[in-house]
Structure 1
Amino acid sequence: MIIERIVGNIAYADVDNRHVERVYLRSDDLVKRVQRVTTDYGNEIGIRLTERKNLTDGDILYLDDRNTIVVHVMADDLLVIRPVNMTQMGDIAHQLGNRHLPAQFEGDEMLVQYDYLVEELLKQLDIPYERTERKVKQAFRHIGHQHG
C-alpha cells in the first residue's frame, strides 16, 4: 500500500468502531515525504506524500469502514529550558542560535533535543532546565544558513 495523502487527524475524526494500527515515527521522520514504515501489526506501507505538508502526531494515513492507520510520534530526549527573565532567554537564545540548534516553544518553555554540550552551557549560565522524554508536536527543523 502506498499512502499519498493525509486523510485527517485522529483528534478530529471518529474512529471508534475501527481497528486502529499505529505507525511509530521519530520526530525527525515527520518531515520525510517519502519513507517505508511498518505498523504495530507488522503491515508494511509506503508513504509518498504529494502535498508539501509534514506529518504530525495523530495524522490518519488510511481510513475505511473497518480500519485506520495513524501516525504516533515517539518521545524525544529533550532539554526543557525555563529562563526566569528576558536576560536568560536572550543569553540562551543567542548561544543556541550560534550553534544553529533548532528550538520549539510551548508556553514559557524552550525545547531543544538533548545535547550534553547544551546541558553544560545551561549549567554554566545557571538557567533552569530539565532533561525529559516528551513528544513534540512537530519535527525539529534545521534552518540552512551560511555565514558570509
Structure 2
Amino acid sequence: MTAPPISARAYSDHCHSTVPFGTVHLDYDARFLRRKVLQLDDGRPLLVDLPKTTSLGHGFALLLETGEEVHVFAAPEPLLEVTGDNLARIAWHIGNRHTPCQIEGDRLLIQRDHVIRDMLAKIGAATREITEPFTPEGGAYGHGRTHSHAH
C-alpha cells in the first residue's frame, strides 16, 4: 500500500526556507492549479488543495501543514524565441492575441503555436524553436494570468 500524498493548502509568492521539504518543476500550464496531485522531483506525491485556482510563479513555495515548503520552479518546455528590429511592435501583436509572453531585452519567448508563428513572420519577426523554462509576464491588473478583456 502506498503512503497518502503530502498535503499543501497554501502558497507564498517567494521561498522562505533555504532547505525545502522538496522541489517540483512544472511547465507554465501545470503551474495553474487549484486541486491536483503532483509528483515532487524525488517522486513523492503532493496533494495541492488551494482555496482558489492559482497561477504559481517560478520561485513560489507551496506551504505544507507542517510549516515546511515545497519550492516551485519553471520546467523547460517547447517555446518560440522571437526576435526582430521592432520588438515593441512585435510584443504589441503578441499581446493583442492574449498570448502569454516572456519579455527580455533582446527577445520575446512564447509557447509554440504555428498560427502565431505565421503571423509573426508576416510582420517581419524571426522565430526559432527552443526549450527553456517559461516565465511570462503577469497581468497588468495584479499578479497572475489574464484571460479576457473583463479586467
TM interval, shorter chain, is 0.5 to 0.7
How far 1:129 moved relative to its partner?
Answer: 2.9
Residue of 11, 14, 17 corresponding to 1:9: 14
Matched-pair identity in %: 23
The separation in 2 between residues aligned to 1:91 and 1:41, in whole angstroms, is 40
1:123 to 2:121 alignment: yes
SS of structure 2 residue aligned to 1:5: strand
Unmatched segments (≥5 aa) in structure 2: 1-5, 139-144
Residue of 83, 103, 106 corresponding to 1:105: 103
How far 1:46 moved relative to its partner?
Answer: 0.8
Structure showing greater radius of gyration is: 1
**Deviations 1:122-145 (Å, cap 9, x if unpaired)?**
333331333211212258846225
How far 1:77 moved relative to its partner?
Answer: 1.4
Q: Is the 8 A contact 1:5 1:51 kept in 2?
A: no
TM-score by length of 1: 0.68
Classify 1:103/1:121 alpha carbon distance in 2 versus 1 (closer, same or farther; 3 Å): same
Matched pairs, number: 138
The separation in 2 between residues aligned to 1:14 and 1:41, in whole angstroms, is 17
Counterpart for residue 48 of structure 1: 49
Counterpart for residue 80 of structure 1: 81
Kindly indicate which of the two structures has a greater share of residues assigned to helix: 1
Residue of 131, 137, 148 corresponding to 1:144: 148
How far 1:55 moved relative to its partner?
Answer: 1.4
**Deviations 1:47-96 (Å, cap 9, x if unpaired)?**
1123775312233325779x7532232112111222312xx6436633x4
TM-score by length of 2: 0.67
- Structure 2 letter corresponding to 1:9: H
Unmatched segments (≥5 aa) in structure 1: none
The separation in 2 between residues aligned to 1:98 and 1:138, in whole angstroms, is 15
Classify 1:103/1:138 alpha carbon distance in 2 versus 1 (closer, same or farther; 3 Å): closer
